Structure 1
Amino acid sequence: MSQPMTRQQPWARLTLLVLTLLATGLLLSPLASPDNLARLPGALWLSASASFEQAVLHYTQLPRLTMALLTGAALGFAGTLVQQVLRNPLAAPTTLGVAAGAQLVLGLVMLLAPALLAWREVWAMAGGMAALLLVLLMGARRGFDPLTLTLCGLIVSLYLGAINTVILLFNQEQLAGLFIWGAGELSQNDWRSTLELLPRLLAVAGVTLLLWRPLQALDLGAESARSLGLSPGVTRVLALSLAVYLTALTVSHVGVVGFIGLAAPAIVRLLGARTLRQRLLASALSGALLCLVADGIAQQLTMAFGYLLFPTGAASALIGGPVLLWVLTRTRLIPARPSETLSVSSAQRKTRVPLIGLAVLCLATLASLTVTLNLGPTWDGWQWIGLSGDPAIMAMRLPRMVTALLAGGLLAGAGVIVQRLTRNPMASPELLGISTGAALGMVILVLTLGTSSRPLQILAGGLGGTLVLLTLLLLSRRNGFSPQRLLLGGIALSALLDAGIRMVLAMGDAQSVTLLNWLSGSTWLSGDTDALVLLVVTPLLMLLTLLSIRWLDLLPLGDSTSQSLGLPLAPVRLALLLLAALMTAAATLVVGPLSFVGLMAPHLARLLGYQRALPQLLAAFVIGSLLMLWADWLARSVVYPYELPAGLVATLIGGGYFLVRMMRLPAAR
């Protein structure tokens, strides 16, 4: 008797969820007003005697409501496919760089050939598919391993996003609409998009039926699927292609609507949906209604703030972000294993003497300081200034160089800590969400108060980073600050806050471009005070890191080994997390949220043969400093008298390296 009740319980919960979301979405919609309800019967099928108000409902509000349902259904369906393939309850279509690829191609078409925007769906799909192809090429040599695909998607997203930001910075007026498009906007003027989207969604659902059994077999593991005569790699590629097609389809029509593809599958899973069929159907329905609620919130906020545009994609973050954090607290994670590091061969390690290598790196730093300080464009063209050069030029260059040098070193040190703490050689301090929290704090301050006061900006950024850190600690406290919980919690918070930043930028004014410079990692605001602060803070934080070397050597060995050697895991993880957060925040508050420095520098140190914690930390610090120093020099020299954000230059250098490196990884055995 109890078994049938158990089977019915998930559907009872899902039915309650559907009714609640449906009622909430309809109440939030402008269609729920008494006047519109009275006009609705005549607006459904227009007649010759229809009023102007009924025509407005027919061609704007009703298509928008339908588009919200179709968009949410497509993203929820695609999210379930991605989670099934990657076996990760926190994966989403945007994890694979689809949105970044679509946005980049659409931006280029908008800039170079606006007339071709009539085929925007084709261009968005081309960009999304190109991003997926790049991810698959990098993951192919590892047998399309789910973790590898996720990490490759992260790299591609960051790299393509950096290129898109560079284009946007130099073409602000022509591409200003990309701010709004990047945050997702569902406004409609007719039924064309709806009629184009509906048959394509039905076709994808039909194709998915053909992959039903292979997709279900992925739950058994790769080896079991092969024993049944199936190819896990081919199944993953086909399923990911369908998910990307759905995502690119919605992106081409309404822009980037985040979190729906992540929140809907997670909700139905927690409510008891277990089989793939249950999760696909329930995710599509829940996603449709979640998007309806998000669009209702966006329209209500738009009207409440004097019709200042509030994008639907940003409103979806208000729903999906808390849901994501709730899922994280209730999801049981598989304990992390000691990870394989991307290291060089033993023969290569023996040919390098660590002390000599560190000495060479230090000499390279001194030489780089000399070159970047003295050589560069001036009012009279490129010149070598020398010791007797123009004091005004020296006064402008020196503080920037010091902040770039020390900020790069701090992020590299934080990267070493995060990678060893999480036992993941592809983790970075940005994934903790601290830098994104600091960025959001400064963005809100500048756009609300309009202040350029440097102390207030640093205070706002520090407050944002602190709130993120406290949230991260609360999320992982019950699990002893486990590495996976920390990393996934940071990714969740970063995604939520990044959506908030995109929303603020889409609603902002001319200051948005200035903020975009800082958000990309610019040193142009750095002055003497910033340099002095880093000169004081950096040695203290590095000293604390050196005192924790034994911990950093033991943690990559695994929990059981570390505990058997007397390491108290929870207090050690908490201390290292706080230390990495302080290092990340100190660099972020001065030069903005930089990308790839904290990821690339520890990895390069490992490739040079520095496997132990102490030499890797020292080498990574110097490499990170060098990377940011040269990135800053290139940023202010290459397009002079214009200037690029140094963080973007570092991302372009580091991203290019990683794209090549991931493709050259040894094939999985």
Structure 2
Amino acid sequence: MSSRSAAKRAAGWGVVGLLAMIVWLVALRLVGDATSAPLDDALEHLVRDWTVWPRLAAGILVGASLGVAGALMQLVTRNPLVSPDLLGMTAGAQLGLILGATLPAAMGLPLIVAGGLAAAGLTFAAAGGGFASPLRLTLAGVGIAQCLSALIALFLSLNDRAAMVVSLWNTGSLTQFGWQALAPSLVLTPLALLVLLALARPLNLALLGDAQMRALGLSPPRLKVLVVGIGSVLTALAFQLAGPLGFIGLIAPNLLRLGLGVARPSTLLPLCALWGAALTLFADNVASTLALSGAWGSGVTVPLGVLSALLGSAAILVLLRIVPAAPATALTRNDGRSLRQWVSLPRFAFIMGMATLLLIGVGVFYRTGNDPLAYARALAGGDAQAWALADLRLPRLLVDAMAGACLALSGVILQTVTRNPLAGPEILGVSQSAALAVLLTLVLMPDVLPAWRFPIAWGGAALALAGVIGLNLRHGLEPLRLTLTGFALGGAALALIGMVIAQFTTNVAQALIWMVGSSYGRDWGDVTAMLPWMAVGCLAGLFVSRGMDLLQLGDGVAGSLGMPVARRRMLLVVMASFLVAVPVAVVGPVGFVGLLVPHGVRLLGFYRSRQRLWAAALLGACLLVLADLLGHAVMAPIDIPLGIATAALGTPCFLLLLSRTYFQRGGAGA
């Protein structure tokens, strides 16, 4: 099929689809009118003019904006699996929304635009700018989004009303009350599309590559900045109207490119606007139909944002099956130097053990008066008030230490199984899935025994990790595909979590704090419940250290030495999910510990798996206790949740780690 005939066919199907969605929307409105109390003609016209037609216009504008923005991002990154969500723009726009709520209404939209644009700029800068590879760009976007999400959770924890507003905004909706909110989009969206029409020739030349563009007198960096700016504005306009609807920008360009063969940007962009509008109305109509039919039970609805996230996650998984596999790749350190072992393992264990005990002591004695020695004497003398204070602080710090050890061990195992140095429980969606399993249990079965939280979290983590590994085995666990699969599963889990929090939770701020991770209020019951699970996981990890060493040599070498590679890999997957489930069940999905600690022990010179496991457990325990103490002290008397403190510490380290790696083709393994 020629490009011209493909474009005509795509335009025809797009028009038919859009008209069908409009008819469906009007039919749903008629069904709603038939089941409600009758209205007089004047009131009926008023309702239609102020709800139905603005909703239809919002769907077309939102879909067109997201479809074009997705196509632009994919063109700039030369990656068909990129969407605004992957570049951190959703979290940036959300942060702008929160800041705009505290300022005059006229500042709302500019701040949303500025937030999305700043997040995209940070992502590109952290990934290497114009030389960023798809994998580095994806990882940088995920890291920036997690950091911004933690910052948002901190703001929301201080304002219950704002937490409810943002939680509802996150679920997404095209519902409009009048035309006032649509005014900026009605002006700016056509203007942005006209600018893109003027850039048709440079956008077509962008397919040739940077070198060819320079030879033809074009500046690739300037074009990328302009395109990212326009895409950010379009995305922010869509988010301002409907909340985060991420799948449109991913699906529309790929349906046209892979399904109908439309490739030229000058043709693809207007068709993405048409198909994006049809897809958005389709998702909205499906959500409305499910709500009218009561398919999810009385009082339970599937918001548009949740449905779009689920569809987007499914689309990523389908596209990963369709898009051809790239050559085997690996992320490798760019300095190539071998680091000497700075300290022996026994000495390191002693130092970390003493440091952890010292930090726990500081946490117990912190702000106990002007004389810590007097407090110590009161403890020794059995003073009831002194012991009551210790009972509040000591269990929390012990939970921190055990959670840090488990997360660090899971990170070591995951990076060994995937042979990907930037794999972690939060990158692969394991923590989010375990948290969803626990949250659903607490909501649907509030009387369930606390001890059941651990196997339930284990089930959620194991399913997610098995899915991520299983879907990528035939591609050799290629890092980019592994990361995108984890992003898809984690995004679907977070969307369902947002729906559960919005519809079933009375204290939204407290639920959001738990979702970023918090050890606040943990007691001795949590310590005794967590201790045996952690001990079993740590001991089991040490028994498989030799097999982990063999797996690092490659599947072929390990198999030739007599090791059952498939069974050993599955055993390690089960163990990693187990170690993730233990802390998630108690403190929630704390991020960055399982990702960064394995690199810390490598920098100290521990390379053998047994050494790395011991060192990672000790370093992870010390790190999480330190993060909790800093969160408690920095904004006292406000207690910063544990997950927010680790994000503040972990994001700069993660971006620094990403900057010290490069995308090497033909690497061993993935």
How do 1:349-364 residues align onto structure 2 when only pairs under 5 Å count? 349-350=339-340, 352-355=342-345, 356-364=347-355
1:648 aligns with 2:650: no
String of CA shifts for 1:384-426, please: whole Å, max 9, x gaps: 6436263333333333222211211111122223334434333
1:604 aligns with 2:579: no
How many residues get paired? Answer: 648
Q: Secondary structure at the match of 1:339?
A: strand
- Tell me if the contact between 2:135 and 2:479 (Cα under 8 Å) persists in the aligned partners: no
- Tell me if the contact between 1:481 and 1:570 (Cα under 8 Å) persists in the aligned partners: no
Amino acid at match of 1:375: F
In 2, distance between residues paired with 1:618 and 1:219? Answer: 49
1:326 aligns with 2:318: yes
How do 1:223-622 residues align onto structure 2 when only pairs under 5 Å count? 231-277=219-265, 279-302=268-291, 304=294, 311-341=303-333, 345-346=337-338, 349-350=339-340, 352-355=342-345, 356-372=347-363, 374-377=364-367, 383=372, 385-386=375-376, 388=380, 390-451=386-447, 453-458=449-454, 460-472=456-468, 474-476=470-472, 478-479=474-475, 484-524=480-520, 526-550=522-546, 552-553=548-549, 570-611=566-607, 613-622=609-618
- 2:57 corresponds to: 66
- Tell me if the contact between 1:338 and 1:556 (Cα under 8 Å) persists in the aligned partners: no
Structure 1 position 93, deviation (Å): 0.8
String of CA shifts for 1:250-297, please: whole Å, max 9, x gaps: 122332223222233333344243514354344333321221122223
Q: Secondary structure at the match of 1:33?
A: helix
1:208 aligns with 2:187: no
How do 1:118-133 residues align onto structure 2 when only pairs under 5 Å count? 118-133=106-121
TM-score (norm 2): 0.84
Structure 1 position 68, deviation (Å): 0.9
- Tell me if the contact between 1:520 and 1:592 (Cα under 8 Å) persists in the aligned partners: yes
In 1, distance between residues paired with 2:210 and 2:558? Answer: 31
> CA 1:161 to 1:464, structure 2 compared with 1: closer, same or farther past 3 Å?
same
Q: Secondary structure at the match of 2:471?
A: helix
1:632 aligns with 2:632: no
> CA 1:216 to 1:366, structure 2 compared with 1: closer, same or farther past 3 Å?
farther
- Which among 41, 66, 76 is matched to residue 75 of structure 1? 66
Q: Secondary structure at the match of 1:352?
A: coil
- Tell me if the contact between 1:68 and 1:291 (Cα under 8 Å) persists in the aligned partners: yes
- 2:123 corresponds to: 135
After superposition, the CA RMSD in angstroms is 3.8
In 1, distance between residues paired with 2:503 and 2:662? Answer: 46
- Tell me if the contact between 2:163 and 2:509 (Cα under 8 Å) persists in the aligned partners: no
> CA 1:644 to 1:275, structure 2 compared with 1: closer, same or farther past 3 Å?
same
Amino acid at match of 2:278: L
In 2, distance between residues paired with 1:663 and 1:483? Answer: 16
- 2:44 corresponds to: 53
TM-score (norm 1): 0.85
> CA 1:124 to 1:574, structure 2 compared with 1: closer, same or farther past 3 Å?
same
> CA 1:472 to 1:144, structure 2 compared with 1: closer, same or farther past 3 Å?
closer
Structure 1 position 229, deviation (Å): 5.7
1:106 aligns with 2:97: yes
- 2:24 corresponds to: 27
User: 171-180 or 606-615: which moved more?
Assistant: 606-615
String of CA shifts for 1:430-455, please: whole Å, max 9, x gaps: 12222212222233333345547524
In 1, distance between residues paired with 2:21 and 2:332? Answer: 48
- Tell me if the contact between 2:329 and 2:478 (Cα under 8 Å) persists in the aligned partners: no
Amino acid at match of 1:654: G
Amino acid at match of 2:161: E
> CA 1:142 to 1:391, structure 2 compared with 1: closer, same or farther past 3 Å?
farther
> CA 1:603 to 1:236, structure 2 compared with 1: closer, same or farther past 3 Å?
farther
In 1, distance between residues paired with 2:136 and 2:77? Answer: 9
User: 203-212 or 156-165: which moved more?
Assistant: 203-212
Amino acid at match of 2:20: A
User: 130-139 or 635-644: which moved more?
Assistant: 635-644
> CA 1:52 to 1:477, structure 2 compared with 1: closer, same or farther past 3 Å?
same
Amino acid at match of 1:160: L
- Tell me if the contact between 2:601 and 2:615 (Cα under 8 Å) persists in the aligned partners: yes
- Tell me if the contact between 1:294 and 1:316 (Cα under 8 Å) persists in the aligned partners: yes
**5+ long unaligned stretches in structure 2:** 35-39, 665-670
User: 581-590 or 137-146: which moved more?
Assistant: 137-146
> CA 1:562 to 1:290, structure 2 compared with 1: closer, same or farther past 3 Å?
farther
Structure 1 position 100, deviation (Å): 1.4
Amino acid at match of 1:261: G
1:168 aligns with 2:127: no
In 2, distance between residues paired with 1:406 and 1:398? Answer: 13
> CA 1:535 to 1:187, structure 2 compared with 1: closer, same or farther past 3 Å?
same
> CA 1:144 to 1:488, structure 2 compared with 1: closer, same or farther past 3 Å?
closer
> CA 1:654 to 1:542, structure 2 compared with 1: closer, same or farther past 3 Å?
same
Amino acid at match of 2:24: L
Q: Secondary structure at the match of 1:340?
A: strand
In 2, distance between residues paired with 1:545 and 1:573? Answer: 13
- Tell me if the contact between 2:418 and 2:477 (Cα under 8 Å) persists in the aligned partners: no
Amino acid at match of 1:330: I
Structure 1 position 233, deviation (Å): 4.1
In 2, distance between residues paired with 1:639 and 1:325? Answer: 42
Structure 1 position 167, deviation (Å): 0.9
Amino acid at match of 2:365: L
